[in-house]
Chains A and B, each alone.
Chain A
Amino acid sequence: MPLTDSALQEEHAAPRKQRVVNDFSLQVATVNGSGSQTANLVLLRSILLMGVPVSGKNMFPSNIAGLPTWYTIRASKRGYTGRKKEVDFLVAMNPETAKEDVLTLEPGAAVVYDEPLKLNALRSDLVFYPVPFDKLVAPVCSDAKLRRLVRNMIYDGILAKLLGIDLTFMDKALGRQMGKKAKAVALNQAALKAGWDFAEANLTKQDPFALEPMNLTAGKILIEGNQAAAIGCLMAGVTVVAWYPITPSSSLVESLIGYMKKHRVDKETGKATFAVVQAEDEIASLGMVIGASWAGARSMTSTSGPGISLMSEFTGLAYYAETPAVIFDVQRVGPSTGLPTRTAQGDLLFVAVLSHGDTKHIMLLPSSVEECYAMAMEAFELAEHFQTPVFVMLDLDLGMNNWMSDGFEYPTKPIDRGKLLTPDVLKRLGEWGRYRDVDGDGIAYRTVPGDGMPAYFTRGSGHNAKGQYSERPDDYVENMNRLARKFETARRFVPKPVIETVAGAKVGLVGYGTSHWAMIESRDQLREESDVKTSYFRLRAYPFDDHELAAFIDAHERIYVIEQNRDAQLLQLMKLDLSPERVAKLRSVRHYNGLPIDARSVTDDVLSQEGYEVAERNGRVARAGMTGGE
């Protein structure tokens, strides 16, 4: 039974005694364009430097300046880096949203706020820390134009004092963030200090949330998934990049450009071993990628759902003409204005069969920044090995948020360009045909212009095994069957699922991508809070490993397919590979409110479908299968 409001208020009116160490989430509510990102990243990194596992998520509007944004930092001694549903500590800097931000907090939460907002009148079950930011910033910063930025560093100083972050960590993080800009560093250090001093003199710690040094982050990096993927592209030896800007994918190519300029310019001549073109749209981006791959370059593009929509026709051409292409899809919420800067796993079904005719595509499904890096490299290998488009499916949460990770390992596999015809191969084969399956794996040898090998005329659907024009039904069927064979070869070749089977578990959880982080935490909650044991199955690529999937379903009574879209796209796609008896065991957990999926939503949903009574949260009860989030 949910507790009543009054019961809660009574319980939390007095400060909570029990300290909560290294296990809370802190949210900074600001206006975008106010320059709070530096302060947020300094805070994030200083927690990392303390040895405490941490993650940072930015919820921002599709706007350049003036609309609300929320940056959430989660510290977790157990290493959970998925989104935590509840906010424990709020920094309310935005007058527009402050009231609602405060009203939606869980009882017992703490609020640092700009004093003139008078938020303490709103609730009696929270801990309030009023701070006169304007008064504090004036002596620190004489330049009125800079004050708006420097104000943010003051809350870092306040938080350092209230949460127990040694200022040396903050200073070090500041140095990393600002680099060699001595003047800026000094100004921000002064602001940090002003915040700290104010808190020391005027604020009495009343909330239970605290940070204490641990040793869980030695050697860890902080990175966004897009940046990790860019490093993967760099190390994969990509040479031609064509793109069209779109949030949340732009930062992938933008960071790639930075890395290429640094690491891929010939030392002697000063000339580039890469070309990057900002194309006129996504149709042209993919056209350029296809042209470049056809002519033998390692080539890629990066986009999001709207761009994928435009790439549909060319994707089909590349599939039929058998041209490699690497396409990053950093998924976001639906079309046009509204929620383009929010996260979703909404493109899975569409991309799996993108284009007209019989088409199906390889997709890689990274869930961590490390996998963004490794799968970026893998994507190029697969695209050239299978001579087909390969999609790498990130989402905004993974691509644009700050994740903690071990450092990336240098690739051990040498670059393999796939089946390119050489004079030796030609001698062995005797006769070459562009689409002849000589090895039985569905993959034919190709030639590229300028390589001195036989030329052929590349077309879409109408060709025979020799690559000659043909509209004959038997040629078409033979070719389509070979393409299907090639796809089956790929099924055994793509990254394997991660499986953890728990003895005695009747329930299995299946998911992919960023849902992973909510799933692993939810499994702990299910086990510890409700004694529900679960096994775990994370898909890492499409085509799915149908054997493993079938075995996993057979070993459990009920399978929850967890994903971040309304229509259970992953579940629908799985059905294609499964018998009706196995399909009957599948249940669906869907989260689609634009925020990253969180463990509590998964736990509540699974429990309610398992027949448990689930507590009301924020005035709402989890509805089986379709919470849509909160």
Chain B
Amino acid sequence: MTTPLKVNRIGLEPQIYKGSKTTLCAGCGHNAISERIIDAFYEMGVDPRRVIKLSGIGCSSKSPAYFMGGSHGFNAVHGRMPSVATGALLANKKLIAIGVSGDGDTSAIGIGQFVHLMRRNLPIVYIIEDNGCYGLTKGQFSPTADLGSTLKTGVVNDLPPIDTCALAIELGATFVARSFSGDKKQLLALLKAALAHRGTAMLDVISPCVTFNDHEGSTKSYAYAKDHDDPLEELSFVPFFEDISVDYEPGSTQEVTMHDGSKLYLKKLDEVFDPTDKIAALSRLREIARRGEFATGLIYFEPDRDDFLAQLNLIDEPLASLPPSRVRPGQEALDEIMDSLR
């Protein structure tokens, strides 16, 4: 007897959402993130033909080849994926974009483009696979390395880290989260919520580099991440197409409705925290960092701001597929222009 094939809500099998075999190191955090991305797109029933995967350069930036094989991908140049993603979405606003970057790709060479992507609130799921070092060039510090953390060689980092989440909130991203590649449940819920959001969804995912930054003294190792992960809330995500009601005690849980109608339930853990309050979000990040821990979960959320494409007042169809008759003005337009110059 053959078991019926497992399919998602648009009738596609899980296999379709996979990519080619990873070439990253066994145990690399980036691989776990790829798996969660596959799960999220499958479970949300996203059509791979509408998806574009973009990345810069680095081990992390290689990973879009390892998920969603039926989608177009673009491995750009180091630190410049945001501009390529922006252009692609301008060309076709119906596409669903996921960008994968590294902490070096984003916070060093790419900080300028990162800043402006966040500012524009471009509709994209932007993932930083954050290992505090440059994996692909063999383990140098990146700007997200914490003060006092050490390289394998014993070199100590004496510059303060860039907190990409704080920066993203400050700059105008409308969905900002942090997670850990080892936290399957939280990461999956956040990825699905990011897909349900319209605007920039920025996820900084601590993703240990087993080869260069998983030793004692590193603050981005598996052991350190497990010990210092401080979840802000317990997350449950209910997609718009599932009719599930969640019972919760009033006051203990915040219900958030996403752009596409999906619901996100945030069960408070320690203190009362409202992720739609920008100032509270920033100070909470700081407080937890001061304790030597890192906050995970949905840190900041602003559901209603117009995204960049909406602001441009573009025609409904993708610009890329407008027929010549709609993009080349007629003879009378040229005549009018010529007359104005005589």
A interface residues with partner B (beta carbon < 8 Å): 219-223, 231, 234-240, 242, 259, 262-264, 266, 269-275, 277, 279-281, 283-299, 313-314, 317, 321, 407-408, 410-411, 414-415, 447-452, 455-460, 469
Extra contacts, 18 of them, besides A290-B84, A294-B84 (Cβ < 8 A), are: A222-B342, A231-B337, A236-B328, A237-B328, A240-B91, A266-B326, A271-B316, A273-B319, A279-B116, A287-B86, A290-B87, A296-B320, A297-B87, A408-B338, A448-B320, A452-B49, A457-B75, A458-B72
Known: A450-B92, A455-B49, A469-B65. A297 touches B320 (CB 8 A): yes
Q: Is the CB of A456 within 8 A of B91?
A: no
Question: 1/0 per position for B318-342, CB-CB distance to A under 8 A?
Answer: 1111101011110101100110011
Question: Which residues on A sit within 8 Å (CB–CB) of B113?
Answer: 280, 283-284, 287
Query: Which residue of A is nearest B331, CB measured?
Result: A410
Question: 1/0 per position for B250-279, CB-CB distance to A under 8 A?
Answer: 000000000000000000000000000000
Question: 1/0 per position for B16-58, CB-CB distance to A under 8 A?
Answer: 0000100000000000000000000000000011111010000
Known: A259-B337, A313-B77, A408-B334. A221 touches B342 (CB 8 A): yes
B15 at the interface (CB under 8 A from A): no
Question: Which residues on A sit within 8 Å (CB–CB) of B329?
Answer: 234-235, 263-264
B83 at the interface (CB under 8 A from A): yes
Known: A296-B320, A410-B334. A288 touches B84 (CB 8 A): yes
Name 15 A/B residue pairs within 8 A (Cβ), A-sorted: A266-B326, A280-B113, A287-B113, A288-B84, A291-B54, A291-B84, A291-B91, A294-B74, A294-B91, A296-B320, A313-B77, A410-B331, A449-B88, A457-B73, A458-B72
B217 at the interface (CB under 8 A from A): no
Query: Which residue of B is nearest A260, CB measured?
Result: B329
Q: Is the CB of A449 within 8 A of B90?
A: no
Q: Is the CB of B322 within 8 A of A292?
A: no
Pick from B74, B76, B319, B334: contact of A240, CB below 8 A: B319
Known: A219-B342, A287-B113, A291-B84. A297 touches B90 (CB 8 A): yes
B312 at the interface (CB under 8 A from A): yes
Give CA–CA (A286, B84) in the complex, Å: 8
Give CA–CA (A297, B93) in the complex, Å: 11
Question: Which residues on B sit within 8 Å (CB–CB) of A407?
Answer: 338, 341-342
Known: A449-B72, A457-B73, A459-B75. A292 touches B88 (CB 8 A): yes
Question: Which residues on A sit within 8 Å (CB–CB) of B92?
Answer: 295-297, 448-450
Q: Is the CB of A291 within 8 A of B86?
A: yes
Query: Which residue of A is nearest B116, CB measured?
Result: A280
Pick from A231, A273, A415, A452: contact of B315, CB below 8 A: A273
Tell me, rounded to whole Å, the shortest Cβ–Cβ distance linking B177 to chain A: 24
- How many residues does chain B have at the interface if contact means C-beta atoms less than 8 Å apart? 58
Question: Which residues on B sit within 8 Å (CB–CB) of A414?
Answer: 324
Q: Is the CB of B74 within 8 A of A275?
A: no
Tell me, rounded to whole Å, the shortest Cβ–Cβ distance linking A460 to chain B: 7
Tell me, rounded to whole Å, the shortest Cβ–Cβ distance linking A150 to chain B: 25
Give CA–CA (A447, B74) in the complex, Å: 13
Give CA–CA (A263, B163) in the complex, Å: 45
Tell me, rounded to whole Å, the shortest Cβ–Cβ distance linking A585 to chain B: 42
Q: Is the CB of B70 within 8 A of A455?
A: yes
Tell me, rounded to whole Å, the shortest Cβ–Cβ distance linking B70 to chain A: 6
Q: Is the CB of A314 within 8 A of B77?
A: yes
Question: Which residues on B sit within 8 Å (CB–CB) of A270?
Answer: 313
B80 at the interface (CB under 8 A from A): yes
Give CA–CA (A281, B52) in the complex, Å: 24
Give CA–CA (A273, B319) in the complex, Å: 6
Query: Which residue of B is nearest A238, CB measured?
Result: B327
Q: Is the CB of B91 within 8 A of A287?
A: no
Tell me, rounded to whole Å, the shortest Cβ–Cβ distance linking A177 to chain B: 12
Give CA–CA (A298, B324) in the complex, Å: 11
Q: Is the CB of A295 within 8 A of B312?
A: no
Tell me, rounded to whole Å, the shortest Cβ–Cβ distance linking A48 to chain B: 9
Tell me, rounded to whole Å, the shortest Cβ–Cβ distance linking A566 to chain B: 32
B185 at the interface (CB under 8 A from A): no
Known: A240-B90, A291-B88. A223 touches B49 (CB 8 A): no
Question: Which residues on A sit within 8 Å (CB–CB) of B167?
Answer: none
Give CA–CA (A411, B324) in the complex, Å: 12
Question: Which residues on B sit within 8 Å (CB–CB) of A290?
Answer: 76, 83-84, 87
Known: A288-B87, A294-B74, A449-B88. A415 touches B324 (CB 8 A): yes
B184 at the interface (CB under 8 A from A): no
List CB contacts (< 8 Å) of B113-164 with chain A. Answer: 113, 115-116
